[in-house]
Chain A
Amino acid sequence: MSAFEKTLAGVDAARAQTWNWLAINETTLEVPGNPEPVALDLPSWARDVRLVAGAEAQGWLDELTSEPLLGASTADEAASILAYLGDVEGEALDVSAASLLCEEGAWGEATIIAAGSAPTTGNTCRLSLRKGASATVDILVARPEDAIHVQSFGATLAEDATLALRVWILGAATTTLAIACDLVGARARFTSELRYLGAAEETIDITYDVRQLGRNTEAEIGASGVLEGSAEKTLRASIDLVRGCKGSKGSESETVLVAGEGVRNKTLPVILCSEDDVQGDHGATIGSLSLEQTGFLASRGLSEADIVALAGQAVIDDAASALGDVALAEIVGWTRAARGPEASAQAADAGALIHGTFCDVPGEEV
């Protein structure tokens, strides 16, 4: 295998960089090399989607993608793409691409689940939303503790288009996630919720790169997570309020619970602004919970250890209740392997919540 080892440099690079001694601007990635590169064949709308995983990482992903998934939603028919990674019998490497075009006024969805046991998985998701289109994209990374997942995501939004991106990173030795989003048309709107759980020696490396070009666009990036053990996480989140995007709003918020003595949490939240009639903001809370929060939780009977366990479980429960039956089995399975039967039973319960209310679980008599 070592003959094919490859080091990718310049991965997930930040749009605006800072002191190099901080080692925060970008990362490098060790991946298996590719003995038989293929030429990726994509329609032009997909080729035009901007991606920010870095030239080397994107090149590596592209030349491993032999059968890209394509979906097109029209006003009459919604497309739904499900990319399932990691469960290829006997293969060490599973890389795919999913591209979704939503025509004017159409709705579509894409779900990317990296959950199987293949050592290395990768995926590129390209989205183009035409005028008034909307899409929901869910990404789940629930991989074994020795596996790698490389995720690249890019979207272009025309006027009045709306994209909701939700990401859960539950586990993997290394996860890299590069998200690019261009709000080109007026009133385009991008919301993203990222939840992650880092444990042991895991590394999570995330770059957001959002450009707001159209008038009255909105971008909202939320990231929260729990880091246990000696987990390391880097989040670079850039919002670029480009001249001309009058009336636009961009916001980033981050909450990190640092719950392990060996944890390293790096954050580079960038707001670039060359327009005056805008609102940009960023907020981050990193570290232990406040005395007020721990006091409140203690008053309900939770010890410090309980609180940390609850915070981790909360990420899993959130994924389970949001993704429900699509990925519930994977989440429950991952949780059992990583955190034991009680945690997985609670995840299964949480999964039941997807069905509208917390009480009416199909197949269960109330």
Chain B
Amino acid sequence: MSETTNLNHSNALLEVRDLSISVEDAEILHHVDLDVDAGQCLVLMGPNGAGKTTLGHAIMGDAAYTVDGGTIDFDGEDLTDLSADKRALAGIFLSYQAPVEIPGVPLYSFLRTICQKRPELKMSARQFRQRVRELAAELDMDPGYLTRELNVGFSGGEKKKVEMLQLLLLQPKLAILDETDSGLDVDALAIVSKGIETYRRECKGALIIITHNTRILERVEVDRVAVMVDGRIVEHGGPSLIADIDERGFEAFEAREPKEA
């Protein structure tokens, strides 16, 4: 099931090479290689604590994660030394597992500001309101949220919807969805899945879906699967790997030697 040969082609949208990451002096990721092509959907799976979230945040450039070695190339550019905001403007989006509360900042002001940072999204106030209205309707969101403080007092499901709204508004080239499915009820999960479909259809964007639950994948067309255990990618494969994991769990992978890149 080895697809390591894939890693050598050079037209990938995202190229992670030999990436080691530490948090507060503890190394979490060890020599990770990962490629995602434009428009491709990669599912990153693994048990709790494997380092999946760390990889997502490291690709985003979160300052809390220190790069000990390796590179991250995106769209032909080396991003390794760029701050998170510059990476975001280059077209990377990370949907947080636990979206952060920002007291004092109304959702409206926030959305308007992040749009205005992207010249390709320049639109009039009227167009902006219309766009947001469409997206809110699609995500079954109460427009009243727009005047509320960003994520403050929002339920888990509401926070995730607001993340999806930003995904669809910003139309990034690569979206990393970190456990977007966790803690959602059936209805919210359906709405989020619909949002992911819309993103794939309309933005033709690439996706990294981080999850340890295969449920959300039922409605998404998956191109590739990578399995992470103990800070290493231990397996690459096609969508059929998902069924394997469903059946056998992660234990089968944990015993294996890490894959050499």
Contact between chain A and chain B defined by CB under 8 Å: yes
Q: Which residues of A contact B (CB under 8 A)?
A: 195, 224-226, 255, 257, 285, 289, 291-303, 306, 309-311, 313-315, 317-318, 321-322, 345-346, 348-350, 352-353, 357-359, 361, 364, 366
When chains A and B are docked, how far (Å) is the Cα of A361 from the Cα of B113?
Answer: 20
Known contacts A299-B62, A300-B114, A303-B85; A361 and B104 CB within 8 A of each other: no
- The answer to whether B61 touches A298 (Cβ under 8 A) is yes
Q: Which of B100, B109, B128, B133 contacts A292 (CB 8 A)?
A: B100
| CB-defined A-B contacts under 8 Å, sample of 16 | A195-B104, A255-B104, A285-B103, A291-B64, A292-B64, A293-B100, A295-B84, A295-B100, A314-B110, A315-B104, A321-B108, A321-B147, A346-B109, A350-B106, A350-B109, A359-B130
- The answer to whether A358 touches B104 (Cβ under 8 A) is no
Known contacts A295-B63, A300-B88; A353 and B117 CB within 8 A of each other: no
How far, in Å, is B154 (CB) from chain A's closest CB? 14
How far, in Å, is B147 (CB) from chain A's closest CB? 5
The SS class assigned to the B binding surface is helix
Q: Which residues of A contact B64 (CB under 8 A)?
A: 291-292, 295
Q: Which residues of A contact B170 (CB under 8 A)?
A: 300-301
Q: Which of the listed residues A255, A353, A358, A361 has the most CB atoms from chain B within 10 Å of its own CB? A: A358
Chain B residue with the shortest CB-CB distance to A225: B104
- The answer to whether B102 touches A293 (Cβ under 8 A) is yes
When chains A and B are docked, how far (Å) is the Cα of A141 from the Cα of B176?
Answer: 43
Q: Which of the listed residues A300, A311, A313, A348 has the most CB atoms from chain B within 10 Å of its own CB? A: A300
Given contacts A226-B104, A303-B85, A358-B132, 10 further A-B contacts (CB under 8 A): A296-B99, A298-B62, A300-B85, A302-B117, A314-B104, A314-B105, A318-B106, A346-B125, A349-B128, A352-B129
B215 interface residue, CB < 8 Å from A? no
Q: Which of A226, A296, A298, A358 contacts B133 (CB 8 A)?
A: A358
* A-B CB pair tally, cutoff 8 Å: 130
Q: Which of B60, B85, B108, B133 contacts A306 (CB 8 A)?
A: B85
How far, in Å, is B163 (CB) from chain A's closest CB? 10
How far, in Å, is B38 (CB) from chain A's closest CB? 20
Interface size range of chain B in the complex: 35 or more
Q: Which 8 A-B pairs have the closest CB atoms?
A: A298-B84, A301-B88, A296-B100, A359-B133, A349-B125, A314-B105, A317-B109, A298-B85
Q: Which residues of A contact B133 (CB under 8 A)?
A: 357-359
- The answer to whether A346 touches B104 (Cβ under 8 A) is no
Q: Which residues of A contact B259 (CB under 8 A)?
A: none
- The answer to whether A317 touches B106 (Cβ under 8 A) is yes
Chain A residue with the shortest CB-CB distance to B94: A299
How far, in Å, is B110 (CB) from chain A's closest CB? 7
Q: Which residues of A contact B103 (CB under 8 A)?
A: 224, 255, 285
When chains A and B are docked, how far (Å) is the Cα of A289 from the Cα of B94?
Answer: 20
When chains A and B are docked, how far (Å) is the Cα of A352 from the Cα of B117?
Answer: 22
When chains A and B are docked, how far (Å) is the Cα of A364 from the Cα of B133?
Answer: 15
Of residues 135 to 175 in B, which have CB atoms within 8 Å of A's CB atoms?
A: 143, 146-147, 166, 170
Chain A residue with the shortest CB-CB distance to B95: A299
Q: Which residues of B contact A322 (CB under 8 A)?
A: 147
Chain A residue with the shortest CB-CB distance to B143: A357
Known contacts A315-B104, A345-B125, A349-B125; A299 and B88 CB within 8 A of each other: yes
Q: Which of B101, B118, B125 contacts A301 (CB 8 A)?
A: B118
When chains A and B are docked, how far (Å) is the Cα of A95 from the Cα of B130?
Answer: 43
- The answer to whether B129 touches A358 (Cβ under 8 A) is yes
Known contacts A301-B85, A301-B88, A321-B147; A296 and B102 CB within 8 A of each other: yes
Known contacts A296-B96, A302-B117; A311 and B104 CB within 8 A of each other: yes
When chains A and B are docked, how far (Å) is the Cα of A76 from the Cα of B230?
Answer: 70
Q: Which of B83, B105, B126, B130 contacts A310 (CB 8 A)?
A: B105
- The answer to whether A358 touches B85 (Cβ under 8 A) is no
- The answer to whether B146 touches A346 (Cβ under 8 A) is no
Q: Which residues of A contact B219 (CB under 8 A)?
A: none
Chain B residue with the shortest CB-CB distance to A257: B104
B122 interface residue, CB < 8 Å from A? no
When chains A and B are docked, how far (Å) is the Cα of A357 from the Cα of B112?
Answer: 16
Chain A residue with the shortest CB-CB distance to B92: A299
B220 interface residue, CB < 8 Å from A? no
When chains A and B are docked, how far (Å) is the Cα of A348 from the Cα of B126?
Answer: 11
B89 interface residue, CB < 8 Å from A? yes
- The answer to whether B108 touches A358 (Cβ under 8 A) is yes
- The answer to whether A298 touches B106 (Cβ under 8 A) is no
How far, in Å, is A62 (CB) from chain B's closest CB? 35
When chains A and B are docked, how far (Å) is the Cα of A318 from the Cα of B93?
Answer: 27
- The answer to whether A314 touches B109 (Cβ under 8 A) is yes
